[in-house]
């Protein structure tokens, strides 16, 4: 029969943060138990090292460049709730296809794939427009700016990109006024007045927006309704957990799809009273361990474990859901290594032996946890060291639900079940293409007759400071211009021998150097021919805040405040 599907996605979790991937200081016994009772992927790759494109690829099984969810500009994710870009309605998500097969579908937690297009209530990009029956969560993401006292992710960028131009414009206008006053130059007074008025309006709008950023962008929704604005972090993980448990309880008589998209461990970091100060790694460790506790609740369907709610055990005992539930755990990308609080505390995770992190296609940015459990169907305690992708979940669960894979578009993911059940030993991913926003950054090649996993880089980010492991001066690494170094010939690594990407190969150290590059270039040419022009969902026009798209549960004069969730 059609199995239930539970997909658990962490945010910015490093592969080295979990005990099942080698961590010995953070306590993650419940996620580790998933690994013990299921399959662990050791080369599980996110389709992008950034939230928005990675999640688009996860839902559609397609590289984000195909759906317009990869940016040509510097900013690669949605920043505002009132932006007009988002996952296009033409895209088919696994939730749409499973819903057509009679599944009850829910997304709980983070969305980050847009909300409105032309009006504040068209909800064209909203989860309910992409096949989910029920939504409880955030439409954007969890920013430092959402939690008072946690600093701002915008401050540096705003100072460089906005404040300086406004200062220059102000100086020019004042200079023109002075020149006009002393008679050196005749400037129409009306034109000067209009310029001053426009500048003043822009400054007022700018100040208003960032002063009210938390209220305008950090809110909790249930379906199409705002229920808490601004978002409260008080017992937030417990509330997400309760929503997931209740959804399962409402749908025990029919197959269901539950996507639990955690806010942990993206900054702003938070942890409830029961977990705060309990880990060995500060607030970040507290957040990881609270998320691990939450997994107990979600996976109590098959772990007979009590922690704060008998309703899940009642579901387990009464409906015996364990053996008919496919469970998957991952992170949308690697840990954000540059995350450091204003007090100097490390707020980013650990990517193990792997180089780099979030926003980079070094292994630390894209090699993520990948755990699958399905008792009686998938062998417990197995390891798969083949290249797999978060795009593979789309065809896997669509096939399990006996839905029809679309034939009118390219699907880049592959069904994981033959690998998971041991029917095949090699991944269908001979090549994987790694994009930095909309720019092809690197390619991975796993030949069928070899254990080698070749990886080439056409360009790499310039770390700052140079001897560091990230772009600390800019908070994330960027994909073009002075932020990168291009390589001709490309850098070449063999990940089977050098997973840390320490020593690039050369024609002197690898006799097949040019042959490998030739094969990869042919693959790039074939891949490029499969791409078609689509609207850029992350253009500046789609990214910028549009006041007419702004949702507000009360009124701007009441600072968009409400708290129906606590009530």
**Which residues are 435's β-sheet partners?**
440
* Contact assessment for residue 81 and residue 217, using Cβ atoms and an 8 Å cutoff: yes
Catalytic member of 20, 44, 112, 471: 112
Q: Is 436 a catalytic residue?
A: no
Please name which of 64, 41, 62 lies closest in space to residue 51, comparing C-alpha atoms. Answer: 64
**Which residues are 388's β-sheet partners?**
44
Calpha distance 552→226 (Å, rounded): 8
**Displacement of CA 6 from its chain's centroid (Å):** 18
Q: Is 51 a catalytic residue?
A: yes
Question: Which value, to the nearest 10 degrees, does the dihedral of the CA atoms of residues 428, 353, 473, 154 take?
Answer: 60
Backbone angles phi, psi at 371, to 5 degrees: -125, 135
Catalytic member of 20, 51, 218, 552: 51
Residue appearing with tokens 């969902």? 537
Calpha distance 137→139 (Å, rounded): 7
Q: Residues with Cβ < 8 Å from 333, sequence gap 6 or more?
A: 12, 46, 48, 49, 50, 51, 54, 358, 365, 366, 368
Q: How many CB atoms lie within 10 A of CB 71?
A: 28
Calpha distance 69→77 (Å, rounded): 9
Q: What's the longest Cα–Cα distance across the chain?
A: 89
Calpha distance 462→504 (Å, rounded): 16
User: Would you state the structure tokens that stand for residue 110, as one six-digit string?
Assistant: 């983070």
Residue appearing with tokens 């500009």? 73
Catalytic residues: 51, 112
């Amino acid at each position: 029969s059609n199995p239930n599907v539970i997909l658990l996605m962490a945010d910015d979790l490093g592969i080295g943060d979990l005990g099942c991937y080698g961590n010995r200081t953070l306590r993650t016994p419940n996620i580790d138990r998933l690994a013990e009772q299921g399959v662990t992927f050791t080369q599980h790759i996110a389709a992008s090292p950034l939230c928005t494109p990675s999640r688009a690829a996860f839902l559609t099984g397609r590289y984000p460049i195909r759906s317009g969810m990869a940016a040509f500009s510097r900013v690669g994710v949605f920043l505002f709730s009132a932006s007009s870009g988002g996952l296009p309605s033409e895209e088919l998500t696994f939730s749409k296809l499973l819903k057509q097969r009679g599944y009850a579908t829910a997304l709980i937690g983070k969305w980050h794939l847009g909300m409105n297009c032309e009006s504040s209530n068209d909800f064209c990009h909203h989860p309910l427009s992409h096949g989910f029956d029920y939504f409880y969560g955030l439409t954007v993401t969890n920013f430092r700016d959402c939690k008072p006292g946690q600093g701002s992710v915008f401050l540096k960028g705003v100072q460089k990109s906005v404040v300086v131009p406004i200062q220059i414009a102000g100086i020019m206008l004042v200079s023109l006024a002075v020149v006009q006053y002393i008679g050196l130059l005749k400037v129409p007074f009306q034109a000067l007045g209009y310029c001053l008025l426009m500048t003043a309006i822009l400054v007022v709008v700018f100040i208003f927006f960032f002063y009210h950023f938390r209220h305008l962008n950090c809110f909790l929704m249930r379906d199409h309704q705002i229920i808490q604005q601004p978002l409260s972090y008080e017992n937030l993980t417990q509330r997400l957990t309760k929503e997931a448990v209740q959804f399962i309880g409402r749908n025990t008589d029919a197959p269901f799809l539950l996507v639990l998209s955690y806010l942990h461990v993206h900054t702003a970091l938070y942890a409830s009273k029961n977990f705060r100060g309990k880990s060995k790694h500060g607030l970040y460790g507290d957040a990881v361990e609270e998320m691990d506790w939450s997994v107990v609740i979600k996976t109590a369907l098959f772990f007979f474990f009590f922690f704060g709610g008998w309703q899940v055990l009642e579901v387990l005992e009464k409906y015996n859901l364990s053996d008919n539930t496919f469970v998957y755990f991952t992170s949308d990308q690697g840990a954000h290594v540059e995350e450091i609080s204003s007090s100097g505390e490390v707020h980013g995770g650990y990517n193990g032996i792997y180089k780099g992190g979030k926003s980079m296609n070094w292994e630390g940015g894209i090699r993520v946890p990948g755990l699958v459990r399905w008792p009686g169907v998938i062998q417990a305690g197995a390891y798969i060291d083949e290249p797999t992708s978060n795009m593979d979940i789309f065809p896997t669960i669509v096939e399990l639900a006996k839905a029809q894979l679309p034939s009118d578009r390219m699907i880049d993911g592959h069904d994981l079940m033959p690998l998971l059940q041991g029917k095949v030993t090699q991944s269908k991913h001979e090549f994987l293409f790694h994009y930095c926003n909309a720019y092809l950054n690197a390619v991975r090649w796993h030949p069928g007759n070899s254990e080698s996993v070749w990886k080439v880089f056409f360009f790499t980010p310039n770390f700052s400071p140079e001897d560091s492991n990230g772009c600390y001066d800019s908070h994330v690494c960027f994909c073009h211009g002075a932020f990168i170094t291009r390589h001709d010939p490309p850098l070449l690594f063999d990940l089977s021998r050098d997973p840390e990407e320490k020593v690039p190969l050369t024609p002197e150290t690898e006799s097949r150097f040019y042959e490998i590059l030739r094969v990869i270039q042919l693959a790039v040419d074939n891949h490029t021919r499969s791409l078609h022009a689509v609207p850029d969902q992350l253009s500046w026009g789609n990214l910028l805040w549009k006041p007419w798209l702004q949702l507000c549960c009360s009124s701007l004069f009441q600072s968009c405040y409400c708290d129906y969730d606590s009530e």
